[in-house]
C-alpha cells in the first residue's frame, strides 16, 4: 500500500523491477524507486546490484544536462531522485519532433565520455519536458569502462567499446526512421556493425524474458 501523498508512476511487472512512485509530500516532489516488494533473495542479490549500479551511475553523471539528479537513499531498498515533469515519447511523438534526437545523441556522447554506457536506449527510457528537453532515465543496465590497471582491462575495454557502439547505433536507427535526410555515412556504418548482434539476441525474448518477466512477455506478444 502507498499513502495518499504518493502516486504510482510505474508498477513492477517482474521480480527484477522496482515500483516507481511520485512522492507529492516532498517539496519539491521527488521520484522514489523502490525494490522492497521483490522476493527476499532477489531483493538482496540482483536488485541490490542493480540499485547500487544505478546510484553510482547517477552520482557519476551529476551535472550533465538531461540526467536526473540522485537525491539520496530512501531506506535499504529504495532511493530518491529528481522528478522530471514530462512524457515518455512513443515513436509517433519522435516522428513529429525529430530535433529531439540530436539532444539524445549529445547526452549519449556525454555519458560515454564519463566512461558509462546505458545499454537500454529506447523511447520508454526517455522523458520529454514541456519545453522539449530530453532526459535519459533508467541506468539499471549501465556498464562502466574498466580501469586500465585491472586484470581484465583488455577484454573489458573491448566489451565497453562494443556497448558504446550499440548505444550509438540505437540513436542512429531512430535517426534513420525519423530523420533519414540527416543520416551520415558514420550512422550507416554503426547500423550495419550491430545488425548481427541484434539478430543473435532474439533468444532473450524467446527464452529468458518469459521466465523472468511473464507479464511483459505476454504484453509484447499481444502488441506484436
How far apart (Å, rounded) are the C-alpha atoms in residues 35 and 12? 9
Please give the pLDDT value at position 189. Answer: 86
CATH of the domain at 69: 3.30.200.20
How far apart (Å, rounded) are the C-alpha atoms in residues 147 and 115? 10
CATH of the domain at 174: 1.10.510
pLDDT interval class at 211 (50, 70, 90) = low
Examine residue 168 and state whether it is found in any structural domain, yes or no.
yes
User: Which position has the grid cell 527476499?
Assistant: 40
pLDDT over 50 (residue 224): no
For residue 85, the tally of other CB atoms under 10 A from its CB is 11
**First CA to last CA distance, the chain:** 33
How far apart (Å, rounded) are the C-alpha atoms in residues 142 and 58? 10
Examine residue 206 and state whether it is found in any structural domain, yes or no.
no
On whether both 193 and 95 belong to a single domain, the answer is: yes
Among 82, 117, 147, the domain boundary falls at 82
Examine residue 177 and state whether it is found in any structural domain, yes or no.
yes
**Considering only 57-61, 66-70, 135-139, 211-215, which range has the smallest mean pLDDT?**
211-215
Distances (CA, A) of 12 to 15, 52, 65, 120: 7, 18, 28, 17
Domain limits for position 78: 6-82
Note the pLDDT tens digit of each residue in 131-166: 999 999 999 889 999 887 777 778 888 899 999 999
**Which residue did the predictor score with more confidence, 148 or 89?**
89
Examine residue 29 and state whether it is found in any structural domain, yes or no.
yes
pLDDT over 70 (residue 212): no
What whole-number percentage of the chain has pLDDT above 90? 52
pLDDT over 90 (residue 63): yes
**Considering only 45-54, 114-123, 198-207, which range has the smallest mean pLDDT?**
198-207
Mean pLDDT of 82-100: 84
**Which residue did the predictor score with more confidence, 79 or 16?**
79
Note the pLDDT tens digit of each residue in 24-36: 988 899 999 999 9
If one counts the domains in the chain, the total is 2
Note the pLDDT tens digit of each residue in 165-204: 999 999 998 888 888 888 888 888 888 877 766 555 555 5
On whether both 132 and 181 belong to a single domain, the answer is: yes
Cross-strand pairs, 30? 23, 82
Residue 170 grid cell: 540505437
Distances (CA, A) of 7 to 11, 23, 66: 11, 7, 23
* Angle, helix 185-193 to helix 153-178, in steps of 10 degrees: 120
Mean pLDDT of 31-59: 94
Amino acid at each position: 500500500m502507498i499513502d495518499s501523498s504518493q502516486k504510482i508512476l510505474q508498477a513492477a511487472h517482474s521480480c527484477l523491477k522496482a515500483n516507481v512512485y511520485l512522492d507529492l509530500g516532498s517539496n519539491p516532489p521527488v521520484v522514489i524507486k523502490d525494490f522492497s516488494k521483490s522476493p527476499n533473495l532477489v531483493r538482496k542479490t540482483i536488485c541490490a546490484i542493480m540499485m547500487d549500479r544505478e546510484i553510482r551511475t547517477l552520482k557519476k553523471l551529476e551535472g550533465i544536462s538531461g540526467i536526473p539528479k540522485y537525491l539520496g537513499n530512501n531506506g535499504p531498498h529504495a532511493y530518491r531522485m529528481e522528478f522530471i515533469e514530462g512524457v515518455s515519447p512513443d515513436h509517433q511523438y519522435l516522428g513529429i519532433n525529430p530535433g529531439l534526437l540530436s539532444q539524445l545523441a549529445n547526452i549519449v556522447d556525454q555519458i560515454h565520455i564519463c566512461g558509462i554506457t546505458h545499454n537500454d536506449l529506447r523511447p520508454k527510457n526517455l522523458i520529454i519536458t514541456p519545453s522539449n528537453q530530453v532526459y535519459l532515465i533508467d541506468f539499471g543496465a549501465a556498464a562502466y569502462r574498466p580501469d586500465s590497471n585491472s586484470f581484465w582491462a583488455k577484454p573489458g575495454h573491448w566489451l565497453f567499446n562494443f556497448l558504446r557502439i550499440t548505444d550509438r547505433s540505437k540513436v542512429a536507427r531512430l535517426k534513420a526512421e525519423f530523420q533519414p535526410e540527416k543520416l551520415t555515412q558514420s550512422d550507416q556504418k554503426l547500423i550495419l556493425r550491430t545488425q548481427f548482434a541484434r539478430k543473435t539476441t532474439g533468444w532473450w525474448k524467446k527464452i529468458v524474458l518469459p521466465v523472468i518477466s511473464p507479464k511483459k512477455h505476454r504484453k509484447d506478444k499481444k502488441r506484436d
